[in-house]
Structure 1
Amino acid sequence: MQTVMLFDYLKTISKKKLSYVLAAAALCIAGILFWKAHSQPAATVETIPLVRTAVVGAAGGLKNYTYAGEVRGRYESQLAFQVTGKIIKRNVQLGSVVNAGDVLLQIDPKDLQQTVNSSSAQVHSAESQLKLAESNLQRYRQLFAQSAISRAQLDQYENAYEVAQAAVQQSSAQYGQSSNQLDYSLLYADKSGVISSISAEAGQVVSAGQTILTIVQSGEREVEISVPENRIEELRKAAQLTISFWALPDVKITGKVREIAPMAAPTTRTYQVRIGLLNPPPEIKLGMTAAVTVSSAGDQNTNLISIPLSAIYQTNDTPGVWVVTDNTAHLRPVQIGGLGNNLVQVSGLRPGEIMVTAGVHKLREGQKVRVSEGDRQ
């Protein structure tokens, strides 16, 4: 009965509408077939990655740390005037070699000379008063011996003589002080050396105690470096200190720690360390850039090997290293030792093995890899 009704319905619709219905049905069937064809997973082609590797070195080596520094003098004197005045003469330049006793700078001595003249006049005046007091004392002693004056009057003249004596001593001391001040108008070199810095020029007014220049005394040379607090003990126990110089690539000398600052610098929070140079050649000049390599004995465990920090692959709480065998990556668990200079000491590797040093987080166990010929060497 339903088939007859559907047949009657199709008779009632026009041929044009029927063609639309058939076209829509055909499109639906084609879409379903296309979706089924493309929903199937495509065959994947595995690419073998090229990895950066390194050969595991020998165990039980030394840990090296390098610090940049500057060549300095063992003794440096900062000189200053002991009086205030205007600089009228400068006899040295930056880098001048001076001897002990050389006059380096001079300030205007006119006011100081006037002070000396005034003190000298006071000395003469006090000496004249002393002579007068001495003459009066002699006369009144004679009068007292003749009972012409009382004892109280004689005591007054004896006291006046003592006051005059004290006045002479005071004026003489002031004269000596003013003479010293006049001599302080000249700045002398206290030791032989080289002028390393000058902070004043002729015509400048300077105050007493203001640092004018610095003399690096002739003799020992050192390298000053800055060391973080976690490396101080390693520096104290260093097995060897090797100093190289940027301007002298062929020169390498040994050194020893002479001084470690008791407090860290407030800005850098590092400790200033002075490294004494043993038998430095004359080519080493003040201010040269130096590199201090600190070689400290490694851990007593001879199984520890230093590898790049980038080779460590951490899974949960277990560190590991990807070892390449027959172009296949295998994760090897290791134990971590000391750290430093982007190196880490580990145990669990054998010298000569090939380890992956870059891209360790993109590998998986048993994955095929390619190793360049340069990394194999």
Structure 2
Amino acid sequence: MLSVLLMVSLVSGCGKSSEDGQRPQLVRTQQVGQQALNAEGTYTGTVRGRYETNVSFQVGGRIINRNVQVGDHVNSGDILMSIDPRDVVQQSNQGDAQVAAAKAQLDLAQSNLSRYQQLYAQEAVPAMVLDQYQTAYDSALAQYNQAVAGAATGHNALGYTALVSSASGVISSVSAEVGQVVGAGQTVLTLVQTNELEVEINIPENHLNDVELGKSVQISFWALKGVSVNGTVREISPMAESVSRTYKVRISVPNPPKGMQLGMTASVKCQESSGTNNDGMVLPLSAIYQIDDNPQVWVVDKGSDTVSLKNITFEKIGNNSVRVMGLNVGDIVVTAGVHKLRQGQKVRLAEGNEDD
């Protein structure tokens, strides 16, 4: 009876071992996703106006009126600010007075010249004396013309006391207030023309080759879900910023989507999507299966859950990781236990696998 029980126990044990041996190998994997494909070719940017003008007065003075706020839409010809014109009026009056004085000196010089021209014709004075009066007249005429030009400048300055918008757009910033004394040329506000919007991104110096003038890129907007438009690289800064070491790149948007506004966050994809991961993906060193000089990885077939080797190239980027090139979007790569697998072997995917 005891021998029978032992035989039954042995048979049962053998059956269990046979069942465990047929169970698929448990593996840890990582999937190549579309995000990994274009991760290095996508940059965050901001919607800007192509023409952003720092507006200033052409004459200095104290601001007495400010007619706009940040975010206001203005039209060409609108008065944005004005300064106290009293000093400018006095300068204009001073110019007119200088013209009158110069005109009196010119009239006197002309009268003297006419008189001495008659005396010279009668041979009453020598030519040297006539030349002196001719020179005096020419000098008076030049001073008169100078005074007239100065007066014209003063009259023009009267029109500069009102800051007039040169184009339609949006006020993006205001840097001066009523009562503040500003100088000629000092920026008091910024006007952004909204008739032509574009996207500005910053490219690290080691990825500058991702963009080139005239290149077509794809633009999406965080606030406009599902909206994607094409853009064209219009301008690349010739010099990197000293702090960030990035290059400013301006991208024109020929057909802006509805709802696109200044300041929106945009995502610019500078590399075309394709089925091959040309940028590569980072894998742990444990994922590399190499025989001789041929690096490979095990790829899991989604339909049959079997593994097969795929040739790749790689560049070492760390002590425990490599960047792998040659994989396709959607490939499921085994990242651990690769030396225990064989061609066509059925596997089970471990929970918590990483998806790129």
Cα distance, 1:68 vs structure 2:
0.5
Within the alignment, does 1:371 sit opposite 2:349 as a pair?
A: yes
Cα distance, 1:253 vs structure 2:
1.0
The DSSP-based 3-state class of the residue aligned with 2:77 is: coil
Aligned match of 1:234: 210
Cα distance, 1:312 vs structure 2:
4.3
Aligned equivalents of 2:182, 2:295: Cα separation in 1: 64
Within the alignment, does 1:310 sit opposite 2:286 as a pair?
A: no
Cα distance, 1:226 vs structure 2:
0.8
Q: Describe the superposition over 1:54-105 as per-residue Cα deviations: whole angstroms up to 9, x where unpaired.
A: 45689xx974622110001122222222222221211222122222232222
CA contact (8 A) 2:289 2:298 kept: no
Alignment match of 2:186 (pick from 185, 210, 230): 210
**Runs of at least 5 residues in structure 1 that lack an aligned partner in the other structure:** 1-47
Aligned match of 1:29: none
Aligned equivalents of 1:144, 1:305: Cα separation in 2: 97
Aligned match of 1:201: 177
TM-score (norm: length of structure 2): 0.73
Letter in 2 for 1:259: E
Alignment match of 1:116 (pick from 86, 92, 95): 92
1:137-286 map, 5 Å: 137-236=113-212, 241-286=217-262
Aligned match of 2:17: none
1:264-343 map, 5 Å: 264-296=240-272, 308-313=281-286, 321=297, 334-336=312-314
Aligned equivalents of 1:323, 1:291: Cα separation in 2: 31
* Range that drifts further, 82-91 or 289-298: 289-298
Cα distance, 1:260 vs structure 2:
1.1
Distance of aligned partners of 1:366 and 1:237 in 2 relative to their CA distance in 1, 3 Å threshold: farther
Cα distance, 1:315 vs structure 2:
8.5
* Range that drifts further, 168-177 or 238-247: 238-247
TM-score (norm: length of structure 1): 0.69
Aligned equivalents of 1:227, 1:142: Cα separation in 2: 81
Distance of aligned partners of 1:343 and 1:258 in 2 relative to their CA distance in 1, 3 Å threshold: farther
CA contact (8 A) 1:49 1:369 kept: yes
Alignment match of 2:325 (pick from 314, 321, 346): 346
Letter in 1 for 2:68: V
1:6-155 map, 5 Å: 52-54=28-30, 63=38, 65-155=41-131
CA contact (8 A) 1:311 1:321 kept: no
Aligned equivalents of 1:130, 1:350: Cα separation in 2: 90
Letter in 1 for 2:195: G
Letter in 2 for 1:292: V
Q: How many residues align?
A: 318
Question: What's the % identity of the aligned pairs?
Answer: 46
Cα distance, 1:165 vs structure 2:
1.6
CA contact (8 A) 1:311 1:355 kept: no
RMSD over equivalenced CA pairs, Å: 4.1
The DSSP-based 3-state class of the residue aligned with 1:263 is: coil
Distance of aligned partners of 1:259 and 1:151 in 2 relative to their CA distance in 1, 3 Å threshold: closer
Aligned match of 1:355: 333
The DSSP-based 3-state class of the residue aligned with 1:214 is: strand
Q: Describe the superposition over 1:5-41 as per-residue Cα deviations: whole angstroms up to 9, x where unpaired.
A: xxxxxxxxxxxxxxxxxxxxxxxxxxxxxxxxxxxxx
Cα distance, 1:112 vs structure 2:
1.8
Cα distance, 1:354 vs structure 2:
4.3
Distance of aligned partners of 1:308 and 1:345 in 2 relative to their CA distance in 1, 3 Å threshold: closer
Aligned equivalents of 2:51, 2:27: Cα separation in 1: 54
Aligned equivalents of 2:101, 2:180: Cα separation in 1: 37
